[in-house]
Amino acid sequence: MALLEARDVVSGYGDVEILHGVSIDVESDEIVSIIGPNGAGKSTLMKTVFSLVDCWDGSITFRGEDVTHDQTSTLARNGMCYVPQTENVFPTLSVEENLRMGGYILGDPPKENYERIYEHFPILAERKSQQAGSMSGGQQQMLAMGRGLMVDPDLMLVDEPSAGLAPDLVDDIFEKIIEINESGTAILMVEQNARKALEFSDRGYVLEMGENRFEDSGDALLDDPKVGELYLGA
């Protein structure tokens, strides 16, 4: 049984249907990337999994339990977190205050939660008193992931982690994602840098116009000439 199973998910905004029966799985030890053209429904799928967008039809299970219509707070308590692409830190709060907000649902987060995050992201330990809004884009992205980790998740959903970052920082962010995965957290990621994401993903899904188009291992998708031609600029 997969850690996360989404089956025939239909969702959208208002009267506009964006996803037309999308299915994905994530195993407990995997990094899984979702790629595809703009408007394919990638971010909508992530938000639907985390109940930020209503699931109109289909089902979502997490650790074998039906969570299709659970509240986001329930999902967070039960081991899932979501790192949005934009507005993912509180700019006027310090690094440490941001982390505390990430774990507020636990009441008073244990000290070891902070220590684990500072181990993953030493720069955050160095700047724990710094106002988040004064940090670089890469540092803010690390803080956003650190906030997500405050609930000690089994699954982290990460939306476009490299968006807006300088090229020399992209590798740093991806290395941190790999490190988080190796420490025991599964990753489901939407990423604009499709080729780079697939290089270190166990599996990948290609969405197009709100539907599944391709699914395979990261390596197989990289080697697929059709995927390369249509989605990787090859």
3-state secondary structure at position 7: strand
Residue type, 210: G
Other C-beta atoms lying within 10 Å of the C-beta of residue 231: 23
pTM: 0.94
Token reading at 166: 């300088």
Q: Write the CB contacts of 189 (distance below 8 Å, at least 6 apart in sequence).
A: 31, 32, 33, 34, 157, 158, 159, 161, 177, 197, 201
* Alpha-carbon gap, residue 12 to 6, rounded angstroms: 15
Token reading at 91: 């700019």
Q: Write the CB contacts of 119 (distance below 8 Å, at least 6 apart in sequence).
A: none
pLDDT at 203: 97
Indicate the domain borders of the chain.
Answer: 4-86+154-231
CATH level 3 topology of 4-86+154-231: Rossmann fold (3.40.50)
Cα 166 versus chain centre, distance: 20
pLDDT at 37: 93
Residue 23, judged by CB atoms within 10 A of its CB (0-12, 13-18, 19+), counts as middle
* Alpha-carbon gap, residue 134 to 140, rounded angstroms: 9
pLDDT at 234: 60
pLDDT at 109: 79
pLDDT at 85: 86
Positions of the chain with pLDDT under 70: 234
* Alpha-carbon gap, residue 98 to 117, rounded angstroms: 12
pLDDT at 110: 80
Residue 182, judged by CB atoms within 10 A of its CB (0-12, 13-18, 19+), counts as exposed
pLDDT at 63: 95
pLDDT at 205: 98
Instruction: Residue 105: name the closest of 87, 84, 121, 82 by CA.
Output: 82
* Alpha-carbon gap, residue 215 to 20, rounded angstroms: 16
pLDDT at 201: 97
Contact of 203 with 11, CB cutoff 8 Å: no
* Alpha-carbon gap, residue 190 to 234, rounded angstroms: 20
